[in-house]
Amino acid sequence: MFYFAYGSNLCRRHFSALCPAAGLVGPARLVGYRLVFRGFADIEPAPGECVPGGLWRVTPACRAALDRYEEVERGLYRPVDVDVELVPREEGEGRSPIAAFSYRMLEEGYRPPVPAYLSVIAGGYRDFGWDETLLDRAGLAKHRD
């Protein structure tokens, strides 16, 4: 199964500690959503926008660890099924959608993240080859270290 990461789980070091059996697939995009912050990273539907992220191949044990980490049982996040596009490595490479799961927060409203959390996400953007300035779309330029 595939997991689409868009927040702190983009950081390879962090994610490898959480899910050591996971395999990195590569950078991916979630089309039709945007990145927002409610203290923590979240995604919400937004036609015409896309969320940069990373795709991981995960085991059932990893899925269980992610559910615990994302506090699904407490109601912080809920798992959602998404279709993502892998970023082509070469010109002309196909962009067939890949079925994956991700997480969305149950909370509404917007709050900026603490700088240390945002730095982890920025590091994840670097890990996956994304331009960190893409975080500015979420209105966060003033919150970064």
Q: What is the 3-state secondary structure (H, E, C) of 68-97?
A: HHCCCCCCCEEEEEEEEEECCCCCCCCCCE
Q: Residue 111 carries which DSSP code?
A: B
Active centre residues (catalytic): 70
Q: Which residue has the tokens 């995009």?
A: 29
CA distance 62 to 3: 10
Cβ–Cβ under 8 Å, residues 56 and 24: yes
